[in-house]
Structure formats: C-alpha cells, structure tokens
Amino acid sequence: GARFVHMIYCFARCVMIECMKRLSIGAHIHFVEAVMWKPKDTYIAKARHRVAYNKLLQILQREDFVIQEYRGK
C-alpha cells in the first residue's frame, strides 16, 4: 500500500545519499549538502517530493502489472 511505497521511497533516498557521500569524498563535490539542503520555499519542495513520489508509485504499479500479465500467460 501507500505506507510501503513511502518506506521504499525513503530507503531509496537514503541509499542515494550514502552512495553520493562515498563518491564525493575528497573530490570537493558538494552533492550531499545540496540533497540535504532545506529550501526556503517549502511549497516547491513539497511539490517536487510529490512528483517524485508519484513517479515511483507509477513505476511500481507498472512493474506489478507486467508481473501479473506474465503470470496470467
């Protein structure tokens, strides 16, 4: 359900941040700070979060549909 999708989204974000931390060590790349940065306009941040969340949900639903079709055949 929705709680599972939210948990997967949070986990994927956490994994992405940890990978970026490992890749940017000693390279003077500040991607992690940009990801963790809190914007001044929270409305835009919430809108971006909702877009990413909906896109992940669509991908998971499409994957489930394909799996169900293969099982049916």
> What's this model's pTM, rounded to 2 decimal places?
0.44
Residues 18 and 42 in one domain: no
> pLDDT-derived band of residue 33, with 50, 70 and 90 as boundaries?
low
Residues 15 and 25 in one domain: yes
Alpha helices (H) in 1-73, listed in sequence order: 2-23, 31-36, 42-72
More confident residue, 42 or 70: 70
Residues 21 and 33 in one domain: yes
> pLDDT-derived band of residue 39, with 50, 70 and 90 as boundaries?
low
Structural domain of 53: 38-72
Residues 45 and 68 in one domain: yes
More confident residue, 60 or 20: 60
- Does pLDDT of 29 surpass 60? no
Residues 59 and 31 in one domain: no
Mean per-residue pLDDT for 52-66? 87
Residues 2 and 24 in one domain: yes
The token pair at 28 is 């003077």
Half-sphere exposure of 41 (CA within 13 A, CB side): 4
Residues 3 and 19 in one domain: yes
Contact 7, 57 (CB under 8 A): no
Would you say the C-alpha torsion 14, 63, 2, 39 has a positive or negative sign? positive
Maximal CA-CA distance, the chain: 52
